[in-house]
Amino acid sequence: MKEDLRDLLELHGTNPTRQQIGQLLTQFYESAAASGLPEVERLATTVNTWWPQILSGITTGITNAASEGINRTIKTDARCAYGYRNPANQRLRGHCTTIRRARGHLTAHPSGPHGRPRKHSNP
């Protein structure tokens, strides 16, 4: 059943036909019904509830992954700081945290004066 759902979600960005999507969705629901497990049936219910959004993600390739990543970063930062003394500090810190990557501060190979090896002066 997990593989059926994975096959369905892997159609993302491949310009699938409605027939391909329908076939894989039916296969997923049949596997979920045949399992008889309450957890799997709840997953199938969740997929059914969110199906319009899942379908638009599969067909258009547009997701909210970037905004979810930014929200996760802000929440992680707030947890690390054990809260802030006032909302202005929290807003400022959240803004600074989310723009670091855009300014190149979180890249694997830092550039600028801090990315270069230190020059040692000879006494």
Domain ranges of the chain: 2-60, 65-99
pLDDT at position 83 = 63
Structure tokens at 2: 């997990």
Going from the C-alpha of 108 to that of each of 36, 73, 98, the distances in angstroms are 47, 18, 17
pLDDT in tens, the chain (123 residues): 889 999 998 988 888 999 999 999 999 999 999 998 999 999 999 999 999 999 988 988 888 888 888 888 878 877 766 666 777 777 777 777 777 655 555 554 445 454 455 555 555
Upper half-sphere CA count for residue 123 (Cβ side, 13 Å): 0
Q: How many helices (H) and strands (E) does the chain have?
A: 6, 0
First-residue to last-residue Cα distance in the chain = 69
The distance of Cα 80 from the centroid of its chain, to the nearest Å, equals: 21
